[in-house]
Amino acid sequence: MKSLDELRKIKERALEIKKMQEGQARVILTIGMATDGIAAGARETMKAIVEYIRDHELDDVLVTQTGYMGSPEHGPLVDVQIKGQPKVRYGHLKAHRVPRLMEQHVINGDPVHEWVLHVEEPQASSK
């Protein structure tokens, strides 16, 4: 059994690695994996995204997961954040929709407007 101090060090290292990966990624995909998302098919969606990334060798795309993202009636929910562009939240993103999302938005930068729930403009930095 690991001590509390050892567990803290492991957590800190994992957070450092995540920050590095996010800094190197051109695209970050975040999938809502709370109970409502899983019930709506988020596991299958995540699997389809990971397989697409692997099959198409998209080394600059990072996949993360989070808990509750709101709007359970619209699940599975997926956020697409491309560097320099607004974050786009998609709803009803079932696994069969993944190839179009990946090709049209992630690769070509053109959101799939009919699936968009919300667009979040980047916050202006305050100096």
Report which of residues 14 and 66 the model is more confident about: 66
Pseudo-torsion of CA 17, 20, 80, 65, nearest 10°? Answer: 10
pLDDT digits (tens, 9 = 90+) for 21-45: 667 789 999 999 999 999 999 999 9
Task: Report whether 41 contacts 84 (CB < 8 A).
Answer: no
Does residue 78 lie within any of the structural domains? yes
Does residue 66 form part of some domain? yes
In a domain, 107, yes or no: yes
Strands (E), 1-127: 27-32, 61-66, 78-82, 87-90, 116-120
Cβ proximity of 52 and 102 under 8 Å: yes
Say if residue 113's pLDDT is above 60: yes
Q: Does residue 1 belong to any structural domain of this protein?
A: no
Among all chains, which residue has been given the structure tokens 């190197």?
A: 24
SS3 79: strand
Structural domain count of the chain: 1
d(C-alpha 8, C-alpha 91), whole Å: 35
With respect to residue 8, please indicate whether it lies within any of the assigned structural domains: no
Domain that holds residue 60: 22-120
In a domain, 13, yes or no: no
Contact 115, 104 (CB under 8 A): no
| Residue 55 lies inside a defined structural domain of this protein | yes
pTM comes to 0.78
Instruction: Please report whether residue 63 resides in a domain.
Output: yes
pLDDT digits (tens, 9 = 90+) for 37-92: 999 999 999 999 999 999 999 989 999 999 988 888 898 999 999 999 999 999 99
Give me the CATH number covering residue 112.
3.40.30.10
